[in-house]
Structure 1
Amino acid sequence: MRTVGLIVEYNPFHNGHHYHLQQSLKITESDAVVAVMSGHFLQRGEPALLNKWTRAEMALRGGCDVVIELPVAYSTQAAEWFGYGAVALLEATGVVDALCFGSEAGDIGPLRRVARLLGHEPAAFGKLMADSLGTGASYPAAYSEAVRKFMETAGDDEAAAFPFEQPNNTLGLHYLLALERLGSAIEPFTVRREKAGYSQTNITDTQIASATAIRKLTLEAASPDGAAPFVPGSTLELLLRDHAAGRGRGSWEQYAKPLLHKLVSESADQLERYHEISEGLEHRLKKSLLTLDALAFEPLLDKLKTKRYTRTKLQRALLAILLGHSKELLSPARLREGIRYIRVLGYTPRGRELLKRMRTSAKLPILNSAAKFDDPYLELDVRATSVYALGWPDAGPRDLFRDFYEKPVTL
């Protein structure tokens, strides 16, 4: 059974995701899909619209066969560590033959050439990166500029002109870098992203919209019905189900008060210990509280944003504070050690067969719940579920520790 791996957030699963999944099966000539999916908090430093078990069910009903969780230690990181964690999990399953990701360019050639040259972090690239950051550019902009200059020096004009600054191209490059660094035999492919950009908020097609635009629709309307043209019927059904239960509208505003509590109750020195807090951001955070217009998330973000601090960078930093993620636990050295478990969120009948193979082929223990396994990153996942549950007005004690009770979703 040839198997393709996908790295996803499905926030929520929409028609564009379904297209990518079907194309991935086709171009890799695969029979089954293993998806590595972020849990309750996502790569841009945001809470998920829906809980991870609902989104796992969306994935299974949309065509995935096994859904495994990307731990929050990696799911809330910038592209380098997000990609490394996700690819390492696919490699650890022992059953994934191919990886297929979406990209704006739809061309894997320049990405692979850059990944081969940068896979072992040459000193010349580090110097270019330091010079780019020294101009005051944001990290994504500095990285793209350093890649461009490095490839010019290498004499690869096509790669130098490649739009690495586009978000899916950036993620794709880091997936390929992870494959190189892990020495993985997984074969990479890419599918061009069609009709809607990664963070495009306006809708320009009758069937395809970005997840960003769909979330905007569901958060601003009284009901998620407006998303109907842009999502499969199964996704709409689950959106309506969770909405009726009062749990289908996850956003940062639900966590503004707990975040503000930590910001006012901890000193600047205490804030500086959190992951992503650097360059005096802890002092900027404390000063911003003095001029807030409202006790809400967006006014706080508006006070903090600069050319250097992008919205995404700030969201990740604030999320690290909310979740209590320390610099020590999420240091590059610790992240490089990798994940020590494979957490299964759901599977289909075909997925059950894959899991049977994984019991003998996987390089890590396979978990169906957080019970009876001790690991600091798994503890972060349990904590993230508890914080996520506190954002819902009707959450009960069991919701706080759902990781210990919830079985994988099955179809």
Structure 2
Amino acid sequence: MEKVLTIIAEYNPFHNGHKYHFQKSKEKTGIDKTLVIMSGNFVQRGEPAIIDYRSRAALAKKNGADLILKLPTFYSTASSDFFTFGAMKIIKEIKIPVILSFGAENKNKELITNIAEFLAFEEKKYYKKIRELMQDGMSMPRAREKIIVNEIPEAQKVLNGSNNILAIDYIKNAYKLKIKNIEYQIIKRIGADYHDNSVQNIMSASGIRNNIKKKDSAWKNSVPDNVRDKLINNELKDIKSLYKYIKYAVVKEGLDIKRYRGVIEGIEHKLITEIQKVNNYGELLDALLTKRYTETFLKRMLLSIFLGITKKEFGYIQSRFYPFLEIIDFTEKGQKIINLIQKNSRIPLIHSINRYPWKDYYTIDKSIDIYRNLELKAERFYSNI
């Protein structure tokens, strides 16, 4: 069966590094049909994307993507472990052979795979140690690193790279989900690191966003022309605008906010206290920040409150099949990928979250409503911030 080049991304925004990744992936694999699994309006760092997902998909299509499927908000706003789990679930359910291409700071596939195998097959042991170290006050990323390096000393070479972490989690979740028809292509990341704000031709997405927010035009040479035009002419979303909504939810719900994903270990008490003292989102983050809770963890927690993502619903959907996948955009080649998926899988592919083909895919499973309600809410909230 024909293989499809697959990329998992946020494109927040699409930049020259992403374009390079497309070009090298096609060159290395010899495949000219590309499926992209892309985040929606809210992303893994716990923020709104700077432009909406349909615009980002259109730009991805102009720059090499053939079919763009949406990674559901439940997963696109979660930690690396769940972000990658959600994306790999899509690969499992479309039932076509893929070559998953991802960027990494280190191209040592054997080492990355060894770490992924340890995390997949020693999961109970791993999470038990994670809990023990976090109870002693260690942050999740630091605890994760300590456990892995203790098991695989040479892992230190790759654990400092954020893209390496994603690569490890992709392969780990492929093992957990028992995905068979998958190969991997690692593309050495070039240019700025994920957290690097330095100005260069290949600049990190976070660096570009920070430059845009500071009204510094230095970012303009680091993106394709069509992306630059869109970013200049579009009203960009900013996480600071979420503050008033989060404050309202915390004040209204009080201790009941502990039902939301990420509100753990009594942090609701500190959140309720501090939100009465601060005046904006930045001050709230500063007040909550500790060695144990990273800024990104706190942003995801606050976003879960904003979007109403509860622990109960998040736990429920993890063990369920996808009730549908949303097609955001596609080319003529993308239509061939759609045909291939429909030939091999029974999963509904829909073009609109409001229109589900009930006659063809009747289901009484409540997951369809849970998924759809969150996606509708995310679109509505995004348009009003």
**TM-score between the two structures when normalised by the length of structure 2:** 0.92
Alpha-carbon distance between aligned partners in 2 of 1:47 and 1:15, rounded to the nearest angstrom: 22
Is 1:265 matched up with 2:257? no
Is 1:234 matched up with 2:234? no
Task: State the shift of 1:122 in Å.
Answer: 4.3
Q: Which residue of 1 aligns with 2:156?
A: 161
Task: State the shift of 1:283 in Å.
Answer: 0.5
Q: Which residue of 2 aligns with 1:300?
A: 284
Is 1:176 matched up with 2:197? no
SS in 2 for 1:161: helix
Task: State the shift of 1:309 in Å.
Answer: 1.0
CA 1:338 to 1:190, structure 2 compared with 1: closer, same or farther past 3 Å?
A: farther
Contact residue 134 and residue 292 of structure 2 kept, 8 A: no
Q: Which residue of 2 aligns with 1:322?
A: 306
Q: Which residue of 2 aligns with 1:376?
A: 370
Q: Letter of the 2:185 partner, please give it.
A: F
Q: Letter of the 2:66 partner, please give it.
A: D
Task: State the shift of 1:383 in Å.
Answer: 0.5
Task: State the shift of 1:325 in Å.
Answer: 0.8
CA 1:282 to 1:130, structure 2 compared with 1: closer, same or farther past 3 Å?
A: closer
Q: Which residue of 1 aligns with 2:262?
A: 276
Q: Which residue of 2 aligns with 1:190?
A: 186
Contact residue 4 and residue 32 of structure 1 kept, 8 A: yes
Q: Which residue of 2 aligns with 1:394?
A: none
SS in 1 for 2:275: helix
Alpha-carbon distance between aligned partners in 2 of 1:305 and 1:161, rounded to the nearest angstrom: 26
Q: Letter of the 1:273 partner, please give it.
A: R
Question: What is the RMSD computed on CA atoms of the aligned residues?
Answer: 1.7
Q: Which residue of 1 aligns with 2:317?
A: 334
Q: Which residue of 1 aligns with 2:242?
A: 255
- Deviation per CA, 1:192-221: give whole Å up to 9, x if none: 211201011222x2x110001111122221
CA 1:190 to 1:75, structure 2 compared with 1: closer, same or farther past 3 Å?
A: same
Map of 1:1-12 to 2, 5 A cutoff?
Answer: 1-12=2-13
Alpha-carbon distance between aligned partners in 2 of 1:334 and 1:34, rounded to the nearest angstrom: 24
Q: Letter of the 1:368 partner, please give it.
A: H
Task: State the shift of 1:86 in Å.
Answer: 0.5
Q: Which residue of 1 aligns with 2:363?
A: none
Contact residue 36 and residue 65 of structure 2 kept, 8 A: yes
Stretch of structure 1 that moved more, 361-370 or 167-176:
361-370
CA 1:7 to 1:315, structure 2 compared with 1: closer, same or farther past 3 Å?
A: same
Query: Which structure 1 residue ranges, 5 or more long, are not aligned?
Result: 152-156, 392-411
Q: Which residue of 1 aligns with 2:332?
A: 349
Task: State the shift of 1:130 in Å.
Answer: 3.1
Alpha-carbon distance between aligned partners in 1 of 2:232 and 2:259, rounded to the nearest angstrom: 40
Q: Letter of the 1:375 partner, please give it.
A: D
Alpha-carbon distance between aligned partners in 2 of 1:379 and 1:279, rounded to the nearest angstrom: 28
CA 1:359 to 1:130, structure 2 compared with 1: closer, same or farther past 3 Å?
A: same
Alpha-carbon distance between aligned partners in 1 of 2:381 and 2:335, rounded to the nearest angstrom: 31
Alpha-carbon distance between aligned partners in 2 of 1:377 and 1:139, rounded to the nearest angstrom: 28
SS in 2 for 1:7: strand
Alpha-carbon distance between aligned partners in 2 of 1:371 and 1:32, rounded to the nearest angstrom: 28
Contact residue 112 and residue 158 of structure 2 kept, 8 A: no
Alpha-carbon distance between aligned partners in 2 of 1:354 and 1:182, rounded to the nearest angstrom: 22
Contact residue 85 and residue 338 of structure 1 kept, 8 A: no
Contact residue 203 and residue 219 of structure 2 kept, 8 A: no
Alpha-carbon distance between aligned partners in 2 of 1:96 and 1:213, rounded to the nearest angstrom: 35
- Deviation per CA, 1:247-268: give whole Å up to 9, x if none: 3x11111222111111222212
SS in 2 for 1:180: helix
Alpha-carbon distance between aligned partners in 1 of 2:240 and 2:204, rounded to the nearest angstrom: 21
Q: Letter of the 2:242 partner, please give it.
A: Y
SS in 2 for 1:307: coil
Q: Letter of the 1:378 partner, please give it.
A: R
- Deviation per CA, 1:116-171: give whole Å up to 9, x if none: 233234443334323332331111111111111122xxxxx43x433324211111
Alpha-carbon distance between aligned partners in 2 of 1:25 and 1:342, rounded to the nearest angstrom: 25
> Percent sequence identity over matched residues?
29
Contact residue 128 and residue 150 of structure 1 kept, 8 A: no
Q: Letter of the 2:62 partner, please give it.
A: R
Alpha-carbon distance between aligned partners in 1 of 2:122 and 2:319, rounded to the nearest angstrom: 14
Alpha-carbon distance between aligned partners in 1 of 2:97 and 2:384, rounded to the nearest angstrom: 36
SS in 2 for 1:272: helix
Alpha-carbon distance between aligned partners in 2 of 1:97 and 1:12, rounded to the nearest angstrom: 25
Task: State the shift of 1:226 in Å.
Answer: 4.4
Task: State the shift of 1:44 in Å.
Answer: 1.1
Q: Which residue of 2 aligns with 1:19?
A: 20
SS in 1 for 2:47: coil
Alpha-carbon distance between aligned partners in 2 of 1:98 and 1:363, rounded to the nearest angstrom: 21
Alpha-carbon distance between aligned partners in 1 of 2:297 and 2:110, rounded to the nearest angstrom: 29
